[in-house]
Chain A
């Protein structure tokens, strides 16, 4: 099996900034090259390799197209010691803010102007997560052991915001269901 990393596999420069349309193109081209139809008359060994390659290309694409997964993968490539997702996060100030944001979401359904409150909440979440994302981007570019460590921390914070986005979607569904 190849030992190319996901960036190399899709013939992209290894780094956080990525040309997404180009990534999609590369993915399509490579997938076509290993399409089962092309191996209809090949040996079973070659067919198996093609299937494995196809799965690999797919994993690479799914990882690289999503910014948080891409960041995590890149940090892992750099040998950064990523704390397990199961590890407890103990930044009190950050978590207090998360509580407040959760409470804000809870209050939306009691607001006089539900649409307005929902919109304001979405804006607030987007602003905060964008600020952390910008930091993450800078720290990944800086690429020192200290900055990579801080990037890890921000990556974990962004996972909480991702969860909040899911909560907002759920809330939207429940509010506008009827």
Chain B
């Protein structure tokens, strides 16, 4: 299948690959997976006391579209508030990367990863 130029760019030069210290109270971790393809995605956000995302890292095992979706998301969320980040929709990710219909679930996975990370942050803050 032909990947779009943007997918190839993110796949070959992924932004923000890596990990943040998951025990740091300001770091939120979102883990999601897709049974259909066995993809596993980890998204970590470093969030300031004001609720602004200062840093984002990802690690994804999956196809090019899954890697590109998570790479793009790390670029998009930086500098945003957690509320703004929570509003990012998979359709916007799919559109930006020109994902074909069979790869839409990769963008859903990335959206769910943001939500999972925000949930984790709220759980951590609630403690």
Seen from chain A, the residues whose Cβ lies within 8 Å of a Cβ on chain B are 85-92, 94-96, 98-99, 102, 156, 159-160, 162-164, 166
Pick the residue among A89, A162, A166 that contacts B33 (CB under 8 A).
A89
Give the Cβ gap from A122 to chain B, nearest Cβ, in Å. Answer: 17
Q: Which residues of A contact B32 (CB under 8 A)?
A: 88-90, 95
Q: Is B92 in the interface zone, CB < 8 Å from A? A: no
Interface mask (B26-43 → A, CB under 8 Å = 1, otherwise 0): 000101111111101010
Interface pairs A-B: 6 shortest CB-CB: A163-B38, A85-B36, A95-B31, A88-B112, A159-B35, A89-B33
Q: Which residues of B contact A88 (CB under 8 A)?
A: 32-34, 108-109, 112
Give the Cβ gap from A26 to chain B, nearest Cβ, in Å. Answer: 30
17 A-B pairs (CB sep. < 8 Å): A85-B34, A86-B108, A87-B35, A88-B108, A88-B112, A89-B35, A90-B31, A90-B32, A94-B33, A95-B32, A98-B61, A99-B31, A102-B61, A156-B35, A159-B36, A162-B38, A163-B37
Given A86-B105, A88-B108, A160-B33, does the pair A102, B40 have CB atoms closer than 8 Å?
yes
Q: Is B59 in the interface zone, CB < 8 Å from A? A: yes
Residue of A whose beta carbon sits closest to that of B31: A95
CB of A92 within 8 A of CB of B31, answer yes
**How many B residues touch A, CB cutoff 8 Å?**
18
Q: A86-B105, A160-B33 are in contact. List 12 more A-B contacts (CB 8 A).
A: A85-B35, A86-B36, A87-B35, A88-B32, A88-B109, A88-B112, A90-B116, A92-B116, A94-B33, A156-B35, A159-B36, A160-B38
Q: How far is the CA of A88 from the CA of B61 in the complex (A)?
A: 15
Q: Which residues of B contact A91 (CB under 8 A)?
A: 33
Q: How far is the CA of A164 from the CA of B109 in the complex (A)?
A: 19
Most buried by B among A86, A88, A156, A166: A88
Q: Which residues of B contact A92 (CB under 8 A)?
A: 29, 31, 116
Q: How far is the CA of A166 from the CA of B112 in the complex (A)?
A: 25
Q: Which residues of B contact A156 (CB under 8 A)?
A: 35
Q: How far is the CA of A160 from the CA of B40 in the complex (A)?
A: 9
Give the Cβ gap from A82 to chain B, nearest Cβ, in Å. Answer: 11
Q: Which B residues, 32 to 61, have Cβ-Cβ distances below 8 Å to chain A?
A: 32-38, 40, 42, 59, 61
